[in-house]
Amino acid sequence: AQSVTQLGSHVSVSEGALVLLRCNYSSSVPPYLFWYVQYPNQGLQLLLKYTSAATLVKGINGFEAEFKKSETSFHLTKPSAHMSDAAEYFCAVSVNAGGTSYGKLTFGQGTILTVHP
Protein backbone atom coordinates (compact mmCIF):
# COMPACT_ATOMS: atom_id res chain seq x y z
CA ALA A 1 0.00 0.00 0.00
CA GLN A 2 1.11 3.54 -0.63
CA SER A 3 1.52 6.26 1.98
CA VAL A 4 2.47 9.92 2.27
CA THR A 5 4.25 11.82 5.02
CA GLN A 6 4.23 15.59 5.16
CA LEU A 7 6.97 16.93 7.39
CA GLY A 8 5.72 19.81 9.49
CA SER A 9 2.06 20.37 10.22
CA HIS A 10 2.64 24.14 10.31
CA VAL A 11 5.04 26.27 8.26
CA SER A 12 5.39 30.01 8.71
CA VAL A 13 7.18 32.33 6.27
CA SER A 14 7.45 36.04 5.63
CA GLU A 15 5.92 37.59 2.56
CA GLY A 16 8.46 37.40 -0.26
CA ALA A 17 10.37 34.49 1.29
CA LEU A 18 10.85 31.03 -0.17
CA VAL A 19 8.10 28.52 0.50
CA LEU A 20 9.17 24.89 0.99
CA LEU A 21 6.61 22.24 1.96
CA ARG A 22 7.99 18.74 2.34
CA CYS A 23 6.40 15.51 1.19
CA ASN A 24 7.80 11.98 1.21
CA TYR A 25 5.96 9.03 -0.22
CA SER A 26 6.11 5.27 -0.03
CA SER A 27 5.02 3.09 -2.93
CA SER A 28 5.98 -0.32 -4.25
CA VAL A 29 5.18 0.70 -7.83
CA PRO A 30 5.75 3.93 -9.77
CA PRO A 31 3.53 6.55 -8.19
CA TYR A 32 1.47 9.45 -9.39
CA LEU A 33 1.88 12.42 -7.06
CA PHE A 34 -0.31 15.44 -6.45
CA TRP A 35 -0.33 18.63 -4.43
CA TYR A 36 -3.68 20.14 -3.47
CA VAL A 37 -4.46 23.41 -1.67
CA GLN A 38 -7.44 24.05 0.58
CA TYR A 39 -8.52 27.56 1.52
CA PRO A 40 -10.80 28.05 4.54
CA ASN A 41 -14.34 26.78 4.01
CA GLN A 42 -13.51 25.46 0.56
CA GLY A 43 -12.76 22.16 -1.09
CA LEU A 44 -9.40 21.02 -2.39
CA GLN A 45 -7.93 22.56 -5.53
CA LEU A 46 -5.22 20.87 -7.58
CA LEU A 47 -1.93 22.78 -7.65
CA LEU A 48 0.10 20.33 -9.74
CA LYS A 49 0.62 16.67 -10.49
CA TYR A 50 3.44 14.30 -11.45
CA THR A 51 2.52 11.50 -13.84
CA SER A 52 5.95 10.16 -14.86
CA ALA A 53 6.79 12.77 -17.48
CA ALA A 54 9.13 15.61 -16.46
CA THR A 55 10.44 15.34 -12.91
CA LEU A 56 10.13 19.09 -12.35
CA VAL A 57 6.45 19.96 -12.43
CA LYS A 58 5.11 23.48 -12.64
CA GLY A 59 1.70 24.28 -11.27
CA ILE A 60 -0.64 27.17 -10.72
CA ASN A 61 0.08 30.30 -8.67
CA GLY A 62 3.85 30.01 -9.16
CA PHE A 63 4.26 26.70 -7.35
CA GLU A 64 6.43 23.85 -8.54
CA ALA A 65 7.53 20.47 -7.25
CA GLU A 66 10.35 18.10 -8.10
CA PHE A 67 9.99 14.33 -8.12
CA LYS A 68 13.11 12.69 -6.68
CA LYS A 69 12.87 8.93 -6.85
CA SER A 70 16.12 8.33 -4.94
CA GLU A 71 14.80 10.37 -2.02
CA THR A 72 11.13 9.31 -2.45
CA SER A 73 10.27 12.98 -2.18
CA PHE A 74 7.98 15.44 -3.91
CA HIS A 75 8.57 18.75 -2.14
CA LEU A 76 6.52 21.81 -3.07
CA THR A 77 8.25 25.17 -3.53
CA LYS A 78 7.49 28.74 -4.44
CA PRO A 79 10.27 31.35 -4.75
CA SER A 80 8.35 34.21 -3.19
CA ALA A 81 5.41 33.83 -0.81
CA HIS A 82 2.34 35.98 -1.12
CA MET A 83 -0.25 36.65 1.55
CA SER A 84 -2.83 34.88 -0.59
CA ASP A 85 -0.81 31.63 -0.35
CA ALA A 86 -1.91 31.17 3.26
CA ALA A 87 -3.87 27.90 3.23
CA GLU A 88 -3.56 24.21 3.99
CA TYR A 89 -1.59 22.10 1.52
CA PHE A 90 -2.00 18.38 0.95
CA CYS A 91 0.34 15.97 -0.78
CA ALA A 92 -1.24 12.83 -2.21
CA VAL A 93 -0.10 9.65 -3.94
CA SER A 94 -1.93 7.31 -6.27
CA VAL A 95 -0.98 4.10 -8.04
CA ASN A 96 -2.58 1.78 -10.58
CA ALA A 97 -2.12 -1.36 -8.55
CA GLY A 98 -2.88 -2.97 -5.22
CA GLY A 99 -5.74 -5.15 -6.34
CA THR A 100 -8.19 -2.31 -6.80
CA SER A 101 -9.95 -1.43 -10.01
CA TYR A 102 -9.10 2.21 -9.58
CA GLY A 103 -6.21 4.39 -8.52
CA LYS A 104 -6.77 5.11 -4.83
CA LEU A 105 -5.64 8.59 -3.79
CA THR A 106 -3.92 8.60 -0.39
CA PHE A 107 -3.44 11.96 1.31
CA GLY A 108 -0.90 13.24 3.79
CA GLN A 109 -1.88 14.96 7.03
CA GLY A 110 -1.64 18.42 5.51
CA THR A 111 0.59 21.43 6.18
CA ILE A 112 -0.85 24.77 7.20
CA LEU A 113 1.09 27.62 5.62
CA THR A 114 1.04 30.99 7.36
CA VAL A 115 2.43 34.05 5.58
CA HIS A 116 3.46 37.06 7.67
CA PRO A 117 3.60 40.60 6.29
Partner 1 sequence: ETGVTQTPRHLVMGMTNKKSLKCEQHLGHNAMYWYKQSAKKPLELMFVYSLEERVENNSVPSRFSPECPNSSHLFLHLHTLQPEDSALYLCASSLGTSGNNEQFFGPGTRLTVL
Binding interface with partner 1 (CB under 8 A): 31-32, 34, 36, 41-46, 49, 51, 90, 94-96, 100-110
| Nearest residue (CB) to partner 1, 8 versus 16 | 8
| Nearest residue (CB) to partner 1, 36 versus 113 | 36
Least distance from partner 1 to the Cβ atom of residue 67, Å? 13
Residue 80: what are its φ and ψ, rounded to 5°?
A: -140, 115
Least distance from partner 1 to the Cβ atom of residue 4, Å? 8
Least distance from partner 1 to the Cβ atom of residue 29, Å? 9
